[in-house]
Structure formats: structure tokens, C-alpha cells
Amino acid sequence: MANSPEGKIKRIPLVPTRTKLSMTYILIVVIGFYIASAIFTEAYPNKIISGMPIVIDFIVLDLIPPNWSYVDSVLESLIETWNMALIATTLAAIFGLPISFLAAKNINTKNVFYQIVRFVLNILRTIPELILAVVFVAFIGLGALAGTMALFVFSFGILAKLISETIESIDPHPLEAIRATGGNIIQVIWYGVMPQILPQFVSYALYVFEINVRASVVLGFVGAGGIGLILKHQLALFNYGNVSTIVVMTFFAVTIIDFVSNRLRERLL
């Protein structure tokens, strides 16, 4: 606040008028995009409200009760889904870690090589895992191996990108000290980088594992193994009691995995 010549108190706004106008214009544009998207896709709220009784009837009349005699078959596919996600994440962590050093500017000082590696990782991350599954099913055939390879390629791009960004944000002083004493690149990475990124590396690997468990369910719809394969089959046969059993068991399995993974990440970080 300041005193004007007339003795009146002049209030200084907390947010300048120009900033308010800019934020208002941005908000209008964003709302306009949402409205245009709803009109273009015909995603009107009244359709959700009018369709809710159909959803409720489907759940109450068709999905309830689950067919618990189908548990053994579901459990076998759940284990396959778990194995797919575990193998894909493990391979992605093993192969993604070395590549992440090449994608970090403070480790890979050759700019052209650095840009090429980053470009390849960006391409891998833009390909959905469902498309990768279709491609590997065409090459390898139906089954869990195609799904595992699709998850591996997808996870590899994500992990290498996340770890490389973590490497670029570490404290540079230990690296400079090792280089100053004549340390080579292997010693810089082992003694200067790894101690700083190890907790984040494990945390990211656990996070990607959670993603892969969920993604492997969808991959089964294109024949890439896992629980999604029997889910598609039971839906096609209208065996909704079996479908309900698959959904319930998948929900509890994913919930348990998420809970354990979150606790492990909390302890690491």
C-alpha cells in the first residue's frame, strides 16, 4: 500500500492486471479446447447419465455372482501375466541402465551420439505397447513370448529415459573429483554416478513393473498371452460369471502388487 497525494491509501494489487488478463485468456482457450473436444467426440455428460442404468444392470444381473470354480484357470493366467511383467521389467532394467548413461549429457559428452540415442529412445516411447504386441505376435506368433517382448521394448524406452534424466540431475562434484584424480569413465560411473542414482533406479524399475502388470492384461486381447487372453475368450463366449472372476482376481492381484511396490519405493526414497 502507498499514500496518494490526496491522502487516500492506494492498494497495490498482488497480481498485476496484465497477468490476470493473460491467465483469463489462457483459461478461455483451454475451456474452448475441452468444449470442442466434447462436441467433436460427442462425449456429452448426459450420455453417461442415461447409460448408467445399463451399466448397473450388467453388473448386477450378469457379473454377479462370480464363478469361483473358474479360479484355478484364472490363477494360472495370472501367474503367466506376473511372469511376463517380471521378465520384461528385469530385461529392461538390465539393458536400459547402460543405455541411460549414453543418453545423459554429463556422461556422454559427444553431442551427436547423445542426440541419436535420445532420438531412438523417444521413438521407442511413442509406440504404444499394444502396437508392439501386434508386431511381435506377427513375428513370433501367439503366446506370452510376444507379450513379454512387447513389454520389454516399451519398458526399455521408459526406464532408459527416466534414468538418464536422473543421471543428468546428480551432483557433479564427485564426478569431477574422480576425473581430476585420473579416473576413467567406468570408475566415474561406478563410484560417482551409481551411488547417487541407485535408489531412484530401483524405484523406477518397480514403477515400470506395476505398469507392465496392468498393460499385460490388455495385450492378451491381441493374442500376446497373459490373463487378457482368457478374458477375451470368455467375453466372446458371453461367460460373464467367468469374466467376473477374472476381473475380481485381477483387481486384487494388481492392488497387492501396487501396495508392496509402493512400500518398497518409500523405503528406498
Q: Are 167 and 216 in contact (CB under 8 A)?
A: no
Nine cell digits for residue 251: 483387481
Q: How many CA atoms lie within 13 A of 164 on its CB side?
A: 25
Per-residue pLDDT of the chain (269 residues; tens, 9 = 90+): 545 555 556 666 666 777 778 888 999 999 999 888 888 887 777 777 887 888 888 788 878 888 888 888 888 888 888 888 899 999 999 998 999 988 888 888 888 888 888 888 888 888 888 888 888 888 888 888 888 898 999 899 889 988 988 888 888 888 888 888 887 888 888 888 888 888 888 888 888 888 888 888 888 888 777 788 888 888 888 888 888 888 888 888 888 888 887 787 777 66
* Continuous H helices in 103-128: 111-126
Q: Are 194 and 134 in contact (CB under 8 A)?
A: no
CATH number of 68-268: 1.10.3720.10
Measured in residues, the chain has a length of 269
Hey, is 171 helix, strand or coil?
A: coil
d(CA 144, CA 135): 14
Span(s) in the chain for CATH 1.10.3720.10: 68-268
Q: Are 239 and 59 in contact (CB under 8 A)?
A: no
Q: What is the pTM (predicted TM-score) of this model?
A: 0.76
Nine cell digits for residue 46: 448426459
